[in-house]
Amino acid sequence: MRRPAPLPESREKPADAESASGDRPSRRGRSAPETDASIVSIDDGAAEQASADQSIVEPTSTREVWRAARARRRALRAEIRRFTQRSRRRRIIGWSVFGALVLLIGGSVAAAYSPLFAVEKITVVGATTIDPAVLETALAGQIGTPLALVDSSEIKAALVGFPLIETYALEARPPHDLTVRIVERTPVGVIRSDAGYTLVDAAGVALATTTDQPAGQPLLDIAGGVDSTAFESAGLVIRSLPADVRAQLSGVRATTADDVTLTLTTGLTVVWGSEEESALKGYVLAKTLAAKPDASTIDVSSPNASVAG
């Protein structure tokens, strides 16, 4: 048997349910708008506060940025100064030294050209044959001239009248002294002519002429005169002789540069040859004379094989 179908339940909600359900929607509806409004009001307040804070903070941040930039610039300048301090110090020292040198040199030059350093005394050194007083008198025109302005051409013109002077040198000794160092010519002998006996040096410069042969000066018999190679060779030979042999020399003869022959006061004839190896030839001659004092002829033209006769 079929059971009767249950009656459908009424879909009407009880009043309590309706009131309950009605209350929830009404509360939800009221709370949602209130929440949204509160959010909006909070957001608006935050925005207003943020804008107010921004209006207050912006100037402070700008000043701080400016101060930070200025601090960075100061720090950068300090670093640059620190790294360039050594180079600046070197430049300062360099310019100081340069300035001091300029002042020193300028002051020295100014003083040198002033009367403070004028010549008051002239001293001649090295003159033996010539009287130094005569030379000092000849140079007296330089007295009163500043040492830096001493005229060398005038001194040369004053000394050219003394043929015995071979070379000279000027030496300023501040504040007032001028020294003239003289190197005299060394005579090597005399050449006989119609005018008498002319004393000459190794360069053929005539030093003096006398009617009689000067004592201690050998007679030179040179083919071609003082301008020949024979005379040049003979002059070099005479200047290289040992002092004891030079003191005994009475005559020199040469026709070429390679056949110089010497004659001593003892009558000894020395065949010298050329001026080459003159120092060795002089040594061999001294040994040969010691070994054979009675020899009349000694040939040292080949010093390694000298011949005495």
Angle, CA of 192, 193 and 194, to the nearest 5°: 140
Q: How far is CA 283 from the centre of its chain?
A: 45
> How far is residue 189's CA from residue 186's CA, in Å, rounded to a whole number?
9
Q: What was the pLDDT predicted at 112?
A: 66
- Going 226 to 230 to 236 to 240, the CA torsion angle's sign is negative
Burial category of 35 from C-beta neighbours within 10 Å (exposed 0-12, middle 13-18, buried 19 and up)? exposed
Q: What was the pLDDT predicted at 155?
A: 93
Q: What was the pLDDT predicted at 221?
A: 95
Q: Against a cut of 0.85, is the pTM above it?
A: no
Q: 115-184 adopts what CATH topology?
A: Ubiquitin-like (UB roll) (3.10.20)
Per-residue pLDDT of the chain in tens (309 residues, 90 and over written 9): 445 444 444 444 444 444 444 444 444 444 444 444 443 444 444 445 545 444 444 445 788 888 888 888 888 887 777 777 777 778 888 888 888 888 888 777 776 677 788 899 999 999 988 899 999 999 999 999 988 888 889 999 999 989 889 999 999 888 889 999 999 999 999 999 998 999 999 999 998 899 999 998 999 999 999 999 999 999 999 999 988 899 999 999 999 999 999 999 999 999 999 999 999 999 999 899 888 888 999 999 999 888 888
- Going 156 to 183 to 253 to 258, the CA torsion angle's sign is negative
Is residue 251 within a helix (H) or strand (E), and if so which, with residue range?
A: strand 249-254
CATH number of 187-308: 3.40.50.11690
Scanning the structure block, which residue is given the tokens 């000849």? 138
